[in-house]
Amino acid sequence: MPRRRRLRELAVVLLGLSTTSVGCYWRGPGAFPLALAETAIVTAVIVSAVQPPPPRVVFVPEPRAGYTWQPGYWTRQDDQWVWVEGQWIALQPGYAWSPTHWEQVPDGSWRLVPGHWVAAP
């Protein structure tokens, strides 16, 4: 497959890195402090020249108090379509969950829009 087409089919752009539970450790005189992060979340944009397959028909669980359902979706991994199972997302007060989904962009390619919180009206 030509490199240009491959790059167009799957372009991953690092947008940001957020960490939680960061600790700083002192290693002694003359040493720089060492910062460690227990959890890191990398946000990426996935673009495909090929339309994703239709969503799988799967069992959707009954509503669960304090949670919202993130439906399953297709993603690209090593030039293959991979199904990501749905999952429960804990509600955040004052916000609504916008689920992960694919959108077609003006150039005809498809972009995976990651799920995210939107301020509730």
Note whether 57 and 36 are within 8 A (CB). Answer: no
- The answer, yes or no, to whether residue 66 has pLDDT greater than 80, is yes
Average pLDDT over residues 29-33: 49
pLDDT tier for residue 65 given thresholds of 50, 70 and 90: very high
Cα–Cα dist 85/56, whole Å? 10
Cα–Cα dist 91/66, whole Å? 6
pLDDT tier for residue 29 given thresholds of 50, 70 and 90: low
Predicted model pTM = 0.59
Read off the tokens for 53.
Answer: 């397959």
